[in-house]
Amino acid sequence: MSVAGAGVPRRTGAEGGRRARVVLLSEQRLVGDAVRTALTSRYLDVIAVDWPDGRRPSPVVRRALAALRPRAGIVFGDLEDPQHRASARMLVATVPLRWVLVVSHHDDASWGDLVAEGATLLPTSISLDDLSVSLAHLMAGADLMPPRQREQMVREWRARQQQADHLAARLARLTPREAEVLDQLARGLSVKEIAFGNGVSEATVRTQVKAVLRKLEVQSQLAAVALVRGW
């Protein structure tokens, strides 16, 4: 299995099965090593597994995790990065563990997709002592996130996704030229400046702007710009 660089997990902890086994994935090796050392000193058998990347694709890491048979998994990383988030979501969805994701803004509904898969969110400000205690509770069967909080986050995330999908569908209606005009409006250019820069008349640009507003289902240039900036 291709983990920890040389294909062998970076492992600490007792071998006799007395300690609860936890796998730790960290995008940053130094952070992962520091957390692993600290948690090991708190009577956990911690196995650090390298983050999925081009040399260790997610399916390979998934198989490695399954072979280790841990009781819980911890993820540290920039999960706001789309690629990292996709990797984390795949692991949470396909490796049946009690997953803990240590993230910034842990109460934001944008994490609803991971919460829907059963992950528990903890803030990056959590102390190592509190993290150790939280893991113990989690492995004992406790849910660290109240059901209402989970349900609300998932519900809000799904509502946002529906809005995003609707906006994407509206944006897909634009022709390449209309999309370019919208982008120029979003960058603060006036109709006159857009016309001059593209060598067309202001009347032509106004016609294109009207088409943009109609297809985006908004009433003004300001609303169109606000919509695309929110996207």
What separation in angstroms does the CA of 35 have from each of 18, 56, 98, 114, 132?
20, 22, 18, 22, 10
Give the number of domains in the chain: 2
Residue 25 belongs to some domain of the structure: yes
Mean pLDDT value of segment 20-41: 89
Domain boundary among 97, 114, 148: 148
Residue 106 belongs to some domain of the structure: yes
Per-residue pLDDT of 189-210, as tens digits, reads 999 999 999 899 999 999 999 9
125 and 33 fall within a common domain: yes
Per-residue pLDDT of 26-35, as tens digits, reads 888 888 888 9
Residue 84 belongs to some domain of the structure: yes
111 and 33 fall within a common domain: yes
Q: CATH number, domain at 193?
A: 1.10.10.10
Residue range of the domain that includes 66: 10-148
Tokens of 210: 């009207």
Rounded to two decimals, the pTM is 0.69
Distance CA(140)–CA(213), nearest Å, equals 55
Per-residue pLDDT of 143-184, as tens digits, reads 898 899 899 999 999 998 998 899 999 999 999 999 999 999
Residue 163 belongs to some domain of the structure: no
Domain boundary among 113, 148, 183: 148
Sequence-ordered strand ranges (E) for the chain: 10-11, 20-26, 44-50, 72-76, 98-103, 120-123
Q: Which residues pair with 24 in a beta bridge?
A: 48, 74
107 and 187 fall within a common domain: no
48 and 107 fall within a common domain: yes
